[in-house]
């Protein structure tokens, strides 16, 4: 019986693929896509103004509220700006670090360096953000203590603090894919470039970067999406500054249809971003 | 690659600055776990090990750690099975819609966690009536699958299908081939993916907030509840410091494993 | 089975999900109250409480009226605190909680939403000693049915760090006016219900608006309140809803003045006096809280026992004193550690409460009785607040 099943599978390649996929795909479709679908469906429904229960009557008012109120346009732009800033700063820090780790550090040291980059991921997200909060305190914080001798002032809570905090949190997610990509780069290619007379700077710009570019994009998927949806870091470091995640969080219990409509914004942005980077092959490097 | 001295020095400085940036807050956390002053003003006012003893005696922490570990174990187990199945299908077969399905398996991490959280919360509270331990596991497993999938798919792509084909040409059936050829090859990716999934689940707060039932306190939830409390915040620092120290070894080992080239 | 068929299957499953979602309906609450008598069945109750209401020793080992209850009844109690009534409603609606200490702006929403059950007061002997003017109030009694027992009441106070705000404030103007001496270090409550605080200030400063009830605002009055909040925004360091985060911010100096609860001031003054807390001359919003039972609880006996326990004179006295509010049980006044507690918190007066406006949920039918205009309902408050916070 098993033998004939095996023969059948040997001949029908696509059946093998389908069988392998059935369980995981089933999970993703029923649980994940199903839940997302149910959520976005509520965005066309109303709520009872008193009890906040969802009423299944069609309305477009949630979308008109989101798109006609200037405040939501502003918060979307601010969130995008934060996500882009965080991604850029992470990239600027991560590329040299990954390069050093992958190509200059001794091969025996590499696991240690990578472990050192990964270890902070195990310190609780909340504790790390809270540590930054204490550092940003305007009067008694670490940063104030550090830079007041030179006349500086802690930036306090706000957009700057949020960007610094998010950069800190997601930096390992940017370093690792880039490191993996740079490590895989064959020495022969780099040596060939040098043999052909290119100075190290040029080799880096014209040989290393183009090949590792997809890994940088892969890292950016993490930093971008994690920043787009974050609300906890914003609550802790942001002062009165708010991002899209906060809007969703504030409204999801009292006005789920509205929160669903708002949450479509980061989802659509991310889908556009993902579709755009498919061609770069970044998705294979996550 | 031969670099000039200035280039090497610059890169070393950047490395040093980068690691300082990464570890500065963690050092502060460790220092504050010994800080007499509960409000973490800087500089610290005195040294005490009181927080460490209180943390060791605290029942709430132990329950929270146990619960988090259980959730992570269940979620990682589900993720290992489903993630590697999906990776095998996507990385080794070509079929219509493969790219879209591959994209689907990235979505739980690519889309904001709060959206996943409220979507699952909506479904769980309307269908199951309430949130439980298993609703947390379901939420975690969904993004853990992504992590395992990525690692194992990358591994499958690197090893190709030659070895499996050779094994079957030599007469081994599918099950034996998997057991003796494929599995040893992907084992390290499974371990790396599993460790990463476990770590992600252990520290996850956003989706957990929306899927955890009334008494289900995972470690991040416990931390969130106690983070700002004047009497408890130092203990939270102790927990974080301990986690960092404990996790260095498995992380290092997992890195050594994935280093192996053949 | 070709893979393309999988996509059809996916579509079917999605459609199936839609059908299921369409078919599920919210449960209706039970029709009558529990008849009793109370059994000694052990059970676990998940309690949703305002901070300071159900202390179990984790904040301060000496402050604990939960463990004695657990020991006496064999019921296990898990306490979860929340920061705003909106959070409370959300948690209750999510399920799994048995008992809640609801303020007036949450209670009716939960009752009409079917999340609470009527309470059989015969099973709660301590109810007899509750102050008469707290019994059968509109926020906890609907159609003659009681839905809970009162816990205590208080005003949202103006708190200021001593020495940092000069002169010591006696008016809310220090948080509303642009020339405030504490500019950049003010805090405000992070909930739509705070719009009522703006209305309270307008009652005193702009009487021409004609506001008589800060929860009954027609569109013009509402717009004026929102304008006042816009005016306040540059003064604000952070909006607060987590009281422990508030405490840390005051201790670090990033906040020096703002609306607060007495329990926060009490904790800050625990080791030495650092803040003052007053009810300013314009009056204040406040709350009168009720302990209520979920319609879906599985530990009904423990829930009733908790309600009876928490309004026992000695326990009510402890809770009222720790938090800093007027107790609900008239016999608690004789048992407070500070004999002046009840007079300090005006538990037995009525004058003090004449300009304390208890939290309640604004509705389209004006709560002040006006029938010639429509008032702004709470769902619009929430929308306006969300828009305001994100401008």
Each residue of A33-42: pLDDT tens digit? 999 999 999 9
Interface residue C138 vs chain B (CB under 8 A): no
Q: Is residue C356 part of a domain?
A: no
**Residue A16 to residue A14: CA distance in whole angstroms:** 5
**Residue B112 to residue C64: CA distance in whole angstroms:** 40
Closest chain B C-alpha to C352 CA, distance in angstroms: 32
CA distances from B84 to A29, B1, C212 (A): 17, 37, 66
Q: Is residue B183 part of a domain?
A: yes
> Phi, psi at residue C337, to the nearest 5°?
-60, -40
Pair (C323, C208) in one structural domain: no
Decide: C262 and C277 in contact? Cβ < 8 Å.
Answer: yes
Pair (C232, C366) in one structural domain: yes
Q: Is residue C26 part of a domain?
A: no
Of A38, A49, A72, the CB nearest to C377: A49
Ranked by mean pLDDT, the top range of A199-208, B11-20, B43-52 is B11-20
Q: How many domains does chain C have?
A: 2
Pair (C256, C365) in one structural domain: yes
Interface residue B45 vs chain C (CB under 8 A): no
Of C379, B17, C251, whose CA–CA distance to A251 is shortest? C379
Pair (C253, C186) in one structural domain: yes
Decide: A282 and A215 in contact? Cβ < 8 Å.
Answer: yes
Interface residue B99 vs chain C (CB under 8 A): no
Higher pLDDT, A238 or C58: A238
Pair (C206, C173) in one structural domain: yes
Taking CB atoms and an 8 Å cutoff, what residues of chain C touch B229? 59, 244
- Degrees, nearest 5: CA angle B94-B96-B100: 95
CATH code: domain of residue B98? 1.10.3720.10
CATH code: domain of residue C203? 3.40.190.10
Residue C284's beta-bridge partner residues?
C356
* Res B191 pLDDT > 80: yes
**Chain C residue nearest residue B54, CA to CA:** C58
Q: Is residue A87 part of a domain?
A: yes
Decide: A87 and B5 in contact? Cβ < 8 Å.
Answer: no
Check residue A210 and give its pLDDT.
85
Instruction: Going residue by residue through chain C, which has 391 residues, state the pLDDT in tens, using 9 for 90 and above.
Output: 444 454 554 445 444 444 444 433 333 344 578 887 888 888 999 999 998 899 988 777 889 999 999 999 999 999 998 989 998 998 898 888 999 999 999 999 999 889 999 999 999 999 999 998 889 988 899 888 999 999 999 999 999 999 998 889 999 999 999 999 999 999 999 999 999 999 999 999 999 999 999 999 999 999 999 999 999 999 999 999 998 889 989 988 899 999 999 989 998 998 789 999 999 999 999 999 999 999 999 999 999 999 999 999 999 999 999 998 999 999 999 999 999 999 989 988 888 999 999 999 999 889 888 999 999 999 899 999 999 999 8
Check residue B260 and give its pLDDT.
55
- Using DSSP, state whether C258 is helix, strand or coil: strand
Of A97, A127, A270, the CB nearest to B111: A270
Q: Is residue A223 part of a domain?
A: yes
Q: How many domains does chain A have?
A: 1
Pair (C253, C187) in one structural domain: yes
Pair (C146, C188) in one structural domain: no
The mean per-residue pLDDT over the stretch A16-40 comes to 91
- What is the spatial order of strands in the sheet that C257-260 belongs to? C236-240, C186-189, C257-260, C157-161, C275-278
Higher pLDDT, A44 or C12: A44
Q: Which helix (H) or strand (E) holds C366?
A: none
Our measurement of the distance from residue B247's CA atom to the centroid of its chain's CA atoms, rounded to an integer in Å, reads 11
Q: Is residue B43 part of a domain?
A: no
Interface residue B209 vs chain C (CB under 8 A): no
CATH code: domain of residue A121? 1.10.3720.10
What is the span of the domain harbouring residue A100? 70-285
Q: Which helix (H) or strand (E) holds A47?
A: strand A46-47
**Residue C53 to residue C262: CA distance in whole angstroms:** 12
**Residue C116 to residue C28: CA distance in whole angstroms:** 10
Q: Is residue A8 part of a domain?
A: no
Percent of chain B scored above 90 by pLDDT? Answer: 29
Taking CB atoms and an 8 Å cutoff, what residues of chain A touch B193? none
Of C90, C109, C254, the CB nearest to A50: C109
* Res B99 pLDDT > 70: yes
Check residue A143 and give its pLDDT.
84
Residue C286's beta-bridge partner residues?
C155, C358
- Name the pairing type of β-strands C99-102 and C284-294: antiparallel
Least confident segment among A75-89, B228-242, B248-262, C192-206: B248-262
Helix spans in chain C (H): 3-23, 67-73, 85-94, 104-112, 173-176, 195-205, 219-232, 243-252, 262-268, 300-310, 313-323, 341-344, 378-390
Q: Is residue B155 part of a domain?
A: yes
Taking CB atoms and an 8 Å cutoff, what residues of chain B touch C248? 39, 228, 230, 233
| Touching B: A residues 250-279, CB under 8 Å | 252, 256, 259-260, 263, 266-267, 270, 274, 278
- Please provide the DSSP assignment of C280-312 as one string: -TT-EEEEEEEEEEETT-S-HHHHHHHHHHHTS
Of A29, A156, A251, the CB nearest to C10: A29
Structure confidence at residue B39 as a pLDDT band (50, 70, 90): low
Q: Do A251 and C382 touch (CB under 8 A)?
A: yes
Q: Do A253 and C253 touch (CB under 8 A)?
A: no
**Chain B residue nearest residue A25, CA to CA:** B86
Quick check: ipTM above 0.85? yes
Q: How many domains does chain B have?
A: 1
Q: Is residue C200 part of a domain?
A: yes
Q: Is residue A27 part of a domain?
A: no
Check residue C8 and give its pLDDT.
52
Q: Is residue A164 part of a domain?
A: yes
Q: Do A65 and C383 touch (CB under 8 A)?
A: yes
Q: Is residue A129 part of a domain?
A: yes
Pair (C114, C231) in one structural domain: no
Closest chain A C-alpha to B57 CA, distance in angstroms: 20
The mean per-residue pLDDT over the stretch B194-210 comes to 90
Pair (C144, C293) in one structural domain: yes
Q: Is residue C30 part of a domain?
A: no
Interface residue B130 vs chain C (CB under 8 A): yes
What is the span of the domain harbouring residue B198? 66-259
- Which chains does chain A touch, 3 or more C-beta pairs < 8 A? B, C
Interface residue C94 vs chain B (CB under 8 A): yes
**Chain A residue nearest residue C235, CA to CA:** A240
The mean per-residue pLDDT over the stretch B226-231 comes to 78
Q: Is residue C105 part of a domain?
A: yes
Query: What's the first-to-final CA gap in chain C, in angstroms?
Result: 53
Closest chain C C-alpha to B225 CA, distance in angstroms: 9
Other beta carbons within 10 Å of C137? 16
Q: Is residue B168 part of a domain?
A: yes
Q: Is residue B105 part of a domain?
A: yes
What is the span of the domain harbouring residue C384? 157-260+361-390
**Chain A residue nearest residue B82, CA to CA:** A24
| Touching A: C residues 9-38, CB under 8 Å | 10, 13-14, 17-18, 21-22, 26
Pair (C200, C187) in one structural domain: yes
The mean per-residue pLDDT over the stretch B191-209 comes to 90
């Amino acid at each position: 019986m098993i033998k004939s099943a095996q023969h059948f599978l040997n001949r029908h390649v696509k059946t093998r693929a389908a069988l392998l996929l059935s369980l995981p795909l089933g999970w993703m479709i029923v649980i994940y896509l199903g839940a997302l679908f149910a959520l976005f469906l509520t965005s066309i429904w109303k709520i009872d103004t008193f009890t906040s229960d969802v009423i299944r009557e069609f309305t477009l008012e949630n979308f008109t509220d989101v798109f006609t109120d200037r405040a939501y346009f502003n918060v979307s732009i601010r969130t995008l700006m934060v996500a882009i800033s965080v991604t850029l700063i992470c990239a600027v820090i991560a590329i040299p670090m990954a390069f050093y780790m992958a190509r200059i550090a001794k091969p025996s040291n590499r696991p240690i360096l990578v472990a050192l980059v990964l270890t902070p991921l195990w310190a609780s997200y909340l504790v790390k953000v809270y540590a930054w909060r204490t550092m940003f305190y305007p009067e008694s914080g670490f940063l104030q203590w550090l830079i007041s001798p030179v006349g500086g002032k802690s930036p306090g809570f706000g957009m700057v603090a949020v960007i610094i905090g998010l950069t800190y949190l997601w930096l390992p997610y940017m370093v690792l894919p880039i490191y993996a990509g740079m490590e895989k780069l064959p020495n022969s290619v780099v040596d060939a470039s040098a043999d052909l007379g290119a100075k190290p700077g040029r080799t880096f710009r014209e040989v290393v970067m183009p090949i590792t570019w997809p890994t940088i994009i892969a890292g950016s998927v993490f930093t971008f999406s994690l920043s787009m949806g974050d609300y906890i870091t914003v609550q802790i470091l942001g002062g009165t500054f708010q991002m899209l995640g906060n809007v969703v969080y504030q409204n999801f219990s009292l006005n789920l249809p509205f929160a669903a409509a708002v949450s479509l914004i980061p989802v659509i942005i991310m889908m556009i971003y993902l579709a755009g980077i498919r061609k770069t092959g970044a998705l294979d490097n996550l | 690659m031969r670099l000039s001295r200035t280039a090497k020095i610059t890169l070393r400085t950047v490395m040093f600055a980068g690691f300082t940036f990464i570890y500065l807050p963690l050092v502060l956390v460790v220092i504050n776990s010994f800080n007499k002053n509960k409000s973490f003003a800087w500089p610290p006012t005195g040294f005490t090990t009181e927080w460490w003893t209180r943390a060791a005696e605290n029942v709430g922490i132990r329950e929270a750690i146990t619960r988090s570990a259980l959730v992570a174990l269940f979620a990682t187990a589900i993720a290992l099975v489903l993630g590697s199945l999906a990776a095998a299908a996507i990385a080794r077969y070509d079929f219509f819609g493969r790219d879209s399905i591959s994209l689907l398996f990235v979505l739980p991490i690519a889309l904001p966690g709060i959206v996943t959280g409220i979507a699952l919360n909506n479904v769980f509270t309307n269908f199951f009536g309430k949130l439980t331990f298993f609703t947390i596991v379901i939420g975690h497993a969904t993004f853990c699958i992504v992590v395992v999938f990525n690692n194992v798919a990358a591994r499958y792509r690197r090893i190709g299908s030659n070895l499996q084909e050779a094994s079957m040409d030599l007469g081994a059936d599918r099950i034996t081939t998997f057991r003796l050829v494929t599995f040893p090859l992907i084992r390290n990716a499974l371990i790396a993916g599993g460790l990463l999934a476990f770590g992600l689940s252990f520290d996850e707060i956003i989706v957990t907030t929306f899927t955890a039932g009334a008494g289900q306190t995972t470690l991040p939830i416990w931390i969130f509840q106690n983070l700002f409390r004047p009497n408890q915040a130092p203990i939270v620092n102790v927990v974080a410091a301990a986690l960092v120290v404990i996790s260095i070894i498995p992380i290092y080992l997992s890195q050594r494993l994935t280093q192996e080239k053949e | 089975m070709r893979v393309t068929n999988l996509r059809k299957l996916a579509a079917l499953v999605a459609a199936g999900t839609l059908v299921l979602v369409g078919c599920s309906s919210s449960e209706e609450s039970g029709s009558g109250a529990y008849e009793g008598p109370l059994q000694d069945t052990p059970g676990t109750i998940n309690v949703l409480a305002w901070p300071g209401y159900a202390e179990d020793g984790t904040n301060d080992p000496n402050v604990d009226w939960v463990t004695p209850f657990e020991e006496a009844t064999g019921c296990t109690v898990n306490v979860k605190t929340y920061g705003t009534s909106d959070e409370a409603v959300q948690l209750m609606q999510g399920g799994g909680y048995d008992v809640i200490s609801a303020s007036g702006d949450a209670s009716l929403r939960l009752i009409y939403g079917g999340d609470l059950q009527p309470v059989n007061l015969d099973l709660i002997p301590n109810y007899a000693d509750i102050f008469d003017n707290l019994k059968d109030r509109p926020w906890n009694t609907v159609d003659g049915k009681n839905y809970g027992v009162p816990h205590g009441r208080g005003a949202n106070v103006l708190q200021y760090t001593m020495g940092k705000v000069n002169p010591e404030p006696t008016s809310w103007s220090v948080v509303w006016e642009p020339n405030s001496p504490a500019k950049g270090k003010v805090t405000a409550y992070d909930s739509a219900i705070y719009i009522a605080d703006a209305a309270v200030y307008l009652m005193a400063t702009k009487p021409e608006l004609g506001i008589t009830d800060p929860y009954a605002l027609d569109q013009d009055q509402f717009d004026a309140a929102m304008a006042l909040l816009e005016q306040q925004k540059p003064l604000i360091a952070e909006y607060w809803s987590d009281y422990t985060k508030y405490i840390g911010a005051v201790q670090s100096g990033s906040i020096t003045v703002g609306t607060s609860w007495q329990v926060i001031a009490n904790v800050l003054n625990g080791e030495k006096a650092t803040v003052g807390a007053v009810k300013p001359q314009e009056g204040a919003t406040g709350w009168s809280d009720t302990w209520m039972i979920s319609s879906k609880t599985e530990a009904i006996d423990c829930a009733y026992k908790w309600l009876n326990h928490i309004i026992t004179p000695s326990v009510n006295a402890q809770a009222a004193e720790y938090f800093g509010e007027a107790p609900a049980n008239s016999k608690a006044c004789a048992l407070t550690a500070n004999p002046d507690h009840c007079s300090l918190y005006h538990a037995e007066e009525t004058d003090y409460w004449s300009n304390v406006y208890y939290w309640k949920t604004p509705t389209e039918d004006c709560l002040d009785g006006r029938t010639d205009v429509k008032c702004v309902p709470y769902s619009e408050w929430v929308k306006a607040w969300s828009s305001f916070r994100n401008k």
